Structure 1
Amino acid sequence: MEIRDFTVDITDAQIKDLRERLARARLPEAETVDDWSQGIPLAYLRELAEYWARDYDMSRVATRLNALPQFHAAIDELGVHFLHIRSPHSQARPLIMTHGWPGSVLEFLNVIGPLTDPPAHGGAAEDAFHLVIPALPGYGFSDKPSRPGTGVSRIAAAWHQLMGHLGYPEYYAQGGDWGAFVTATMGIQRPEGLLGIHVNMALTSPGALSKLGELTPDEQRMLARAKRFRDHETGYSTQQRTRPQTLGYGLADSPTGQLAWIVEKFYAWTDCNGHPENAVSRDEMLDNVTLYWLTNTATSSARLYWESFASQGVDDITVPSAYSLFPEELVVVSERWLRTRFTDLRYYHQTERGGHFAAFEQPEIFVREVREGIRALR
């Protein structure tokens, strides 16, 4: 494995091109409803695009990432960008954290300090972690796979190799969205040295619940929520898992299109009380969109759905596990339902707030859940 230092470099030419494209965007007519049921409203999209072009600090992504130790690793021909922040505390435990779509390593930036140096943020030194935060292949500054075969299983194996090469023979893993699938797959693969996993999104077999007897009212609501998600929120995944290349042409050519494609999810998937900026700040949303735009990863990130969506089974996960249920997560499961798959579940807890982008939306709650969840795995 080859590892080199990495620095984000955003050029004036890239910024000029982005601003010019935003200025000449051709927009559709306004929606015919007064809500988000047809997608992101025109007035809000125009407001965001104008702010992005005129007022947003285009250097924010580079500044925020370059303030941290960054590296690029070649892992079995996979080029992976990752952050590696070592804790100052000798008892710190290694933890690899994985993002999903349409997220990035940026969603973890506000939790790095509290997780690596808890005493500096009101915590205890025994809860300190050495953090490894990789960008999924095809996302951010990781390389884009040039041939088929880079799905969740391969990524999970690569993460284990990375941790070993960094000098962590024993470690924990954490993830949400695709990161949860990668983390769960690591739990299925059970590589030597993986001590346990923490996820803030988990799936299990719907059939397993039917074998548990009469459903509780909460479980009935969980099934109803899953049905609503399938009926109203899966258009994006159908396109990305079937025709990511076709989708990518429009998103690669139009920053306004990329903006709309991502920000709609910050409305639909967060605990935002009707407006995405109640959950994630405008600048942080634009940081994330800017990262996708500058790296031209709309297509390569969507391709992970094509690679992995159909192969996601519900094999048993037997490593020590922890699950934090954020109330506005896309799909939620009860403890007894989860135990049908996570056979060594040590921690199950529902938080008071938060949604799909847990670390982004509620960094303090996320930090608490990671600390308590992994503490239960020791």
Structure 2
Amino acid sequence: MTPHDIRPFRLDIAQADLDDLRARLDRVRWPDEVPGHGWRYGVPLAHLKDLVEHWRTGYDWPRAQAGLNRHDQFVTDLDGHPVHFLHVRSAAPDALPLLITHGWPSSPLEYLDVIEPLSRDFHLVIPSLPGYGLSGPTKEMGWGSTRIARAWLELMDRLGYRRFGVQGGDWGTWISREVGVLAPERVVGMHGNGIICFPIGAPGEFDDLSEVEQERLAFRERYMGEQYGYKLIQSARPQTFAYGMADSPVALLAWFAGVYREWSDGDIDPDRLLTTVMLYWLTNTAGSAARSFVETPDTDQDTSVEWELKPATVPTSISVFPKDILRPIRRFAERDNNIVGWVEHERGGTFAALEQPEIFVEDVRAFFAGGCHDK
């Protein structure tokens, strides 16, 4: 076996690990709560108790595991780290390869509802980020967007895909963008649900903003004041944060339940939320996923992150969902990206493929079929 080997993977969790999880859920010590504040201070106690009770008595892990195993999965070593990925080939031999990158706190699970329809038109490659879920915990720092993008290029090489499209959500938009920056001759186009962009203090950049654009700027301020704590905690003290996440499945569930509530447009299927939590719990990767926040550019205030915004020339289309935490303003996105498509939607949030699978599929298909590339 060589480091370049691609090995088949099948998810098969040991019963001892499931028994340990059940024992922990059976002996939860609950905190107190000041009543009457709803979600203002985080996940309400009654809401989390209901989720845990469903986890204990109603959630079907074997079914969830079978759902993932329905698709071809593999592991290969990239830059010294094992990377898990789904590889679903289209029945059309000349289909365009499409590399899809998830964000936090997500996994390839987010795309289960779009795999079958997209695979009619694309050969799909959907990796688990290094340090996330089934790729296992990272062992060193340095897994920023550029390193991951280089690893993704190597992965596509090993799969025999010289030219391909990229798609990303949340942090995955930044990684997908970086793939195109590193190898524009290989990337035929980028589709993102959202994109990281922000004002830079240039003269006139706030002139003639529409009402919607003004609302997005206002949301950015609210995000920094109310929801940016998810990043601050994980990027400032990821090791301290990791102890609770590694020892308490309920702490991990609470952290993720808050994110999925605040960053989505409506209720997320509790079974899908629990399966996402299971992937991080069973692989003990909540801590290593938190470490990735140290190296993730998110705003113009990320002074601890060493990065340089390089212009992206790859044709790019952005789907904007109203409850996404990335609520971009087109004029800011156009400053450093080759924006050729921009679609505004009335429903949906950060986890677009999970929340609005039909719209997600339609947008991806339309962009890559619309002449952004030649196969």
Between Structure 1 and Structure 2, how many residues are aligned?
361
Which runs of no fewer than 5 residues in structure 2 stay unpaired?
Answer: 298-304
The answer to whether structure 1 residue 101 and structure 2 residue 96 are counterparts is no
Q: Secondary structure at the match of 1:32?
A: coil
- Which whole-Å CA distance do the structure 1 matches of 2:271 and 2:358 have between them? 19
User: Which residue does 1:120 correspond to in 2?
Assistant: none
**1:236 aligned onto 2:239:** no
| Deviation for aligned residue 1:204 | 2.1
1:275 matched residue in structure 2: none
**Larger deviation, residues 182-191 vs 80-89:** 182-191
Question: Quick check: 1:321 aligned with 2:313?
Answer: no
1:164-183 CA-to-partner distances (Å, cap 9, x unmatched) read: 11011100111011211111
Q: What's the TM-score once normalised by structure 1's chain length?
A: 0.92
> Is 1:78 matched up with 2:81?
yes
Aligned mates of 2:356, 2:203 — CA distance in 1: 33
Matched, 1:201 2:194: yes
Deviation track 1:26-73 (CA, whole Å, cap 9, x = no partner) reads 110124333101000000100100110111112233211111100001
Is the 2:136–2:285 Cα contact (8 Å) retained in structure 1?
Answer: no
Q: For 1:97, give the aligned amino acid.
A: I
SS in 2 for 1:196: strand
Give the match's secondary structure for 1:339: helix
Would you say the 8 A contact 1:15–1:58 is kept in 2?
Answer: no
Superposition pairs for residues 30-41 of structure 1, below 5 Å? 30-41=33-44
The separation in 2 between residues aligned to 1:296 and 1:316, in whole angstroms, is 36
Kept after mapping to 2: 8 A contact 1:99/1:179: yes
Deviates more, 1:146-155 or 1:247-256: 146-155
**2:317 partner letter:** A
Contact 1:321 1:347 in 2 (8 A): yes
TM-score w.r.t. the length of structure 2 is: 0.93
Contact conserved, 1:25 with 1:256, CA < 8 A, in 2? yes
Paired residue for 1:246, among 240, 243, 262? Answer: 240
| 1:279-294 alignment runs, 5 A limit | 280-294=268-282
Supply the AA of the counterpart residue of 2:117.
Answer: P
CA RMSD across the alignment? 1.5
Residue 214 of structure 2 aligns to a residue in which SS? Answer: helix
Q: Distance in 2 between matches of 1:313 and 1:333?
A: 19
Describe the shift of the 1:210–1:217 C-alpha distance in structure 2 as closer, same or farther (beyond 3 A).
farther
Q: Which deviates more from structure 2 when the two are superposed, residues 15-24 or residues 54-63?
A: 54-63
8 Å contact kept, 1:244–1:302? yes
Say whether residues 1:337 and 2:337 are aligned partners: no
Structure 1 segments unaligned to the other structure (5+ residues): 118-127, 273-277
Counterparts of 1:284 and 1:203, CA distance in 2: 26
Q: Following the alignment from structure 2 to structure 1, what is the Cα–Cα distance between the partners of residues 137 and 199?
A: 34
CA distance in 2, matches of 1:5, 1:11: 18
Whole-angstrom distance in 1 between the partners of 2:243 and 2:220: 31
Fraction of identical pairs, as percent: 42
Q: Is the 8 A contact 1:84 1:132 kept in 2?
A: yes
Written as runs of structure 1 = structure 2, the 5 A alignment for 1:100-139 is 100-117=103-120, 128-139=121-132
Q: Give the CA deviation at 1:191.
A: 4.7
The partner residue of 2:26 within 23, 28, 41 is: 23
Letter in 2 for 1:156: A
TM-superposed deviation, 1:210 = 5.0
Distance in 2 between residues matched to 1:208 and 1:85, nearest whole Å: 44
- Could you say which residue in structure 2 is the equivalent of 1:140? 133
Residues 354-365 of structure 1: matches in 2 within 5 Å?
Answer: 354-365=348-359
